[in-house]
């Protein structure tokens, strides 16, 4: 049985905002100095970022840290 992604709400928020900004996963990864695979993992809900990365995502994607944290907290 396949494991369900744990951070689906967070992943959906990152995916939605990236599309609103008209960025590819590659472009976002480059802006954040991450691998494309890491961006995919965030968007798929397989993992959540560290606090430092959460701040970087917030600044880069112009979304509040609080919104990102709320998405993470509602995934539990």
Task: Report the domain count for the chain.
Answer: 1
- Whether 28 maps to a domain, the answer reads yes
User: Phi-psi region for residue 22, left (φ > 0), alpha (ψ -120 to 50) or beta?
Assistant: left
Domain residue limits at 38:
8-73
- Whether 18 maps to a domain, the answer reads yes
Query: Domain holding 29: CATH number?
Result: 1.10.260.40
Q: For 22-45, write each residue's pLDDT tens digit.
A: 999 999 999 999 999 999 999 999
Residue 76 has pLDDT above 70, yes or no: no
* pLDDT recorded at residue 11: 95
- Whether 1 maps to a domain, the answer reads no
Average pLDDT over residues 53-58: 96
- Whether 3 maps to a domain, the answer reads no
* pLDDT recorded at residue 16: 97
Residue whose entry in the numeric block shows the structure tokens 């397989």: 46
- Whether 2 maps to a domain, the answer reads no
* Crossing angle for the helix pair 51-61 and 65-73, to the nearest 10 degrees: 130
> What pTM was estimated for this model as a whole?
0.89
Q: Name which of 37-46, 49-58, 66-75 the model is least confident about.
A: 66-75
């Amino acid at each position: 049985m396949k494991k369900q992604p744990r951070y689906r709400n967070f992943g959906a928020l990152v995916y939605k905002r990236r599309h609103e900004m008209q960025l590819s996963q590659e472009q976002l990864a480059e802006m954040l100095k991450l691998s494309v695979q890491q961006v995919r993992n965030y968007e798929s809900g397989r993992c959540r970022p560290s606090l430092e990365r959460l701040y970087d995502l917030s600044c880069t994607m112009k979304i509040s840290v609080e919104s990102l944290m709320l998405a993470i907290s509602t995934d539990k």
